Amino acid sequence: MHSVHHSAPGNFQGKHEILSGLVPFVTYINFVQTTGCVNFLVSSFGIAMNVLILRTFLAMGGVFTEGVTFTFFSLALSDLGLCVCSLCWSVSASCFLLEKRFVRTPQIFYYFPVDPRALGFYSHITMIIFGIMTTLITIYLAVMRCLCVAQPLTFRGSLSPRKTCLLFAAFLVFGASTRLPIFSSGGVRATFDRRWNVSRPTLWSQPYQERLKDGVRIAVDVPLPVVAEVVLSICIIVMTNALRASSQFRSQNTTDSGVSKSENHRTGHKEEAGKQRPDRNSESLAGKSKKLSPKDVRVIKQLVIISLVYILCNVPKLARTVGDALEPEFMLGRRFEHFYDIVTHIQLIVETVNSSVNFFIYLYFNTKFRQEFFSYKD
């Protein structure tokens, strides 16, 4: 959860006016409440879309026998988990800001029996784990498809569901291990405030938690999105070139076929045409080893769009990462904490959008998915 500093109500707003930097306190509260409502709608939509994806893939069959289908199914599971956590985080942020905005002076006023930041703490950590899963699965899909295009005989069989499942389990363990130190350095416990004679379960953290966050940020949170941008950009170039080459091959093959028919019709030398036809067929068969199948073309188009959407939705995270590195005051508890929190809210909304739009990509490019979905709808 963000912006969780606790202070006496009497000087609460004054303190944050000093720390606000670029964004005044009231503007900050209004903006964050608006983004919380937007994220609630986006995450609810994402949950519905990913449930439809899972249901359609299961109805199609082949989830546990085809490596590519299993990978797309796993990506939908990860996106669903991210959207659920994003929804919980939105509720927590809205409840926390409700208390923060309508704080009473000189007596603090609690609307909720439990500190809303507690739900935000756990849901945000879990959301980051699913975000790491989504990133790694997207990279895996793009890289494996590029390898299948470059060396189809070598890598096509490597996308078995069993190997893929073990690899994704390793992704999950890796993501969870990066958050375990932060998770173990904080929690929720009953806290009594002697100043206001109020007691309720409240979020707490160890003094060294911020140092742990800095370490995780340097080791994982900064390199991973940068690596993802670079790898996916390279994969998009490779897959786009493969699509272009396949399109040129089909166009050339169609042109050659038309020219052959025209020549045969004009000359009427059927015997010579018959002699030439095997040579053309042999050339066509030789080209087919380099030509992508219609199914491969559809899969590559899906992955290109998915990768492009991820790259675009990863920009706010990169911007926040660059801000962390270049401006020491761009963090919670410092001068630009309100602006930092606003950028973080935008980042979370965009990440949720990234996990909500794959349904439309599958519906447009995957013929079997589209047929199964509309047959279920009918």
Query: What is the per-residue pLDDT across 126-143, written as a single tens digit (0 to 9) for each?
Result: 999 999 999 999 999 999
Where is pLDDT greater, at 279 or 209?
Answer: 209
Query: What is residue 370's predicted lDDT score, i.e. its pLDDT?
Result: 92
Strand partners for 193: 198
Nearest alpha-carbon partner for 362 in 293, 294, 303: 303
Across 221-250, average pLDDT: 85
> What are the tens digits of pLDDT across the range 64-98?
888 888 999 999 999 999 999 999 999 988 888 87
pLDDT band at 179 (very low <50, low <70, confident <90, very high): very high
- Degrees to nearest 5, angle at CA 57 with 154 and 231: 45
Across 348-359, average pLDDT: 95
Query: What is residue 139's predicted lDDT score, i.e. its pLDDT?
Result: 95
Chain centroid to CA 101: 32
> Per-residue pLDDT for 48 more than 80?
yes
> Per-residue pLDDT for 280 more than 50?
no
Q: Which amino acid is at 74?
A: S
- The top-scoring range by mean pLDDT among 2-11, 162-171, 317-326, 338-347 is 162-171
Contact 235, 292 (CB under 8 A): no
Task: Kindly report the average pLDDT of the chain as a whole number.
Answer: 79
Share of the chain above pLDDT 70, in %: 77
Across 33-37, average pLDDT: 89
pLDDT band at 19 (very low <50, low <70, confident <90, very high): very low
pLDDT band at 264 (very low <50, low <70, confident <90, very high): low
> Is the domain defined by 9-242+296-377 classed in CATH 3.40.50.300?
no
Query: What is residue 10's predicted lDDT score, i.e. its pLDDT?
Result: 35
3-state secondary structure of 328: coil
Across 217-245, average pLDDT: 88
> Per-residue pLDDT for 11 more than 70?
no
> What are the tens digits of pLDDT across the range 92-126?
888 888 777 665 543 455 677 788 888 888 999 99
φ, ψ at 269 (rounded to 5°) = -85, 85
pLDDT band at 291 (very low <50, low <70, confident <90, very high): low
Burial of 250 (C-beta count, 10 Å sphere; 0-12/13-18/19+): middle
Q: Which amino acid is at 251?
A: S
Sorted by where each begins, the domain ranges of the chain are: 9-242+296-377
> Per-residue pLDDT for 302 more than 80?
yes
Cβ atoms < 10 Å from Cβ of 195: 10
- The top-scoring range by mean pLDDT among 103-117, 215-229, 344-358 is 344-358
Spatial neighbors of 150 by CB under 8 A, at least 6 apart, are: 238
Residue 171, H or E segment: helix 161-184
56 half-sphere exposure, CB direction, 13 A CA radius: 25
Tokens at 215, concatenated = 């370490």
Distance CA 356, CA 79 (A): 7
Where is pLDDT greater, at 209 or 89?
Answer: 89
Across 19-37, average pLDDT: 78
pLDDT band at 217 (very low <50, low <70, confident <90, very high): confident
**Model pTM score:** 0.81
Distance CA 249, CA 255 (A): 10
